[in-house]
Structure 1
Amino acid sequence: MQLKINVTEFILLGLTQDPVQKKIVFITFLFFYLGTLSGNLVIIVTIKTSWALRSPMYFFLFYLSLSDTCLSTSAAPRMIVDALLIKNTISFSECIIQVFSLHFFGCLEIFILILMAVDRYVAICKPLHYMTIMSQWVCGVLVVAAWVGSCVHSLTQIFLALNLPFCGPNVIDHYFCDLEPLLNLACSDTYVVNLLLVSNSGAICTVSFVILMCSYAVILHSLRNHSAEGRRKALSTCISHIIVVILFFGPCIFIYTRPATTFPMDKMIAVFYTIGTPLLNPLIYTMRNAEVKNAMRKLLEKKSISNNKK
């Protein structure tokens, strides 16, 4: 049965309603967003232009930076603009698009992190077969599968949202549209939808986190048989990945694995995985990765030389 939708727009309360605090939010998150864009775009350009970064690890890092950029763009620009407005409204269709984009790129990031863990496992535990197992064709197929899986997940979220009847009120106590706050506005019993949400988003987050932690535990355990230099290099890479995994999955698990109950801290926790992690990822990967830093240095030197010739 098709349910009639009476609400055509929603009001987003944002992070705060205080005029002074809204100015602080505008300045702070504009700075964060610009940092996210510049940091991830530098990694994307560096990987695409450097021959030294042609291994599968950097192939997946390219897509991680791309998903970070898109994930942050799905939420941050609107929050920044809304901080300057008195009344922040978003149409029903725009809200649904935001739900789709946030879940698509968030899920894509999860799958890319899993692929990066698989890559590290093969590189460290099966080094002799690494280039055969992680061939360019295999990596391409894995990334396509990640995109398809993310699309299926996001379409499921949209299907759940479109089947919710909204008759009012239309105030969302959040800075972006998501299924959790939308459930609180639906004028029908949302118990089944909430179960589907937890079994979809919650299961993806929890199972993926467990898989990642177990895989890195196996990787770290296997390092005991490597040389001191090999252990140091592998530890540097794996620790970077583990930090990213904890920063991203911690907030996601807290939000998506519990019933549709809104807590005051939810908005600030959501900031971690929509804006915080995309901002920190470039810093984590560049500060702990000598190859990326060297490639960036060469790229800057080439740019400087070409500018001097002009």
Structure 2
Amino acid sequence: MGKRKQDLGDVPMGGTKDEESSDDDTDMINVDFEWFDPQPAIDFHGLKNLLRQLFDNDAQIFDLSALADLILSQPTLGSTVKTDGNESDPYAFLSVLNLQEHKDKPAVQELIKYITSKAAGNPSLAALSELVSQEPIPPIGLILTERVINMPSQVIPPMYNMLLEEIAWAIQDKEPYNFSHYLIISKGYEEIESKLDLEESRPQKKTKKGGAANQRFFFHPEDEVLQRHALCSGSYEFTHKQDDGHSDSKRAFQELGIITNGSMILLEGSKFEATVKAVQEYLQ
């Protein structure tokens, strides 16, 4: 199952062309992004750090080293994005793991247990709860993807398009990647009233118009499209709670504090290609 990554040209970091033309003070940095196969000899620490960022408060639950090794054990499936050649650290990655195929591996057993516990009792994730409770677990493709915070979302559609091609090639080679469903683990956040404002003697600041408390936001804009095409999707609280001051530590550029939470999006396998196309159209 062979493939070639390609340099898809300059992608602006820090704004759009419209923003650049409307504000002469905005500095634009054009960076050449390159897409590579995961490299077992190079990418271990970079992938582990991105996995830690993805799972946030609950990263300590998982054997991230084993998960990184598992991703790297299938180097012709999935992508990394780099800016300084193949020998540099990845700034983004996307890969898929077959939960059925790897169900006996301890690291995947931890993932399945976690998914099952977060979906159980959550009405918005009822379809997922029913699916993962089956014996044996169906051939679910668990999509793991993360990127550093300032990476532009335009790097995402090429990774999903490459994944579609790679899965098609793998199925032709009789490899176990014919998935009944795809599950994306991601994360979002809610804006909450700042505890600092509550403690001060001045009147409390009003929330932004249209920014009511408990409104759900996504760190990854493509999640908005993915959930619209999903069989089910929902957020959940992390097992390991944030301390009281954590939300205020993330409010440097806004009046409200934020609290992060996990997110799961379940897609039917037959609708995955159309969903990828929708993501591309949304982010282009």
Q: Same fold (TM over 0.5)?
A: no
Q: Which has the larger radius of gyration?
A: 1
Considering Cα pairs closer than 8 Å and 6+ residues apart, tell me whether 1 or 2 has the greater RCO.
1
TM-score (norm 2): 0.32
Instruction: Name whichever structure is richer in helix by fraction.
Output: 1
Pick the structure with more strand per residue: 2
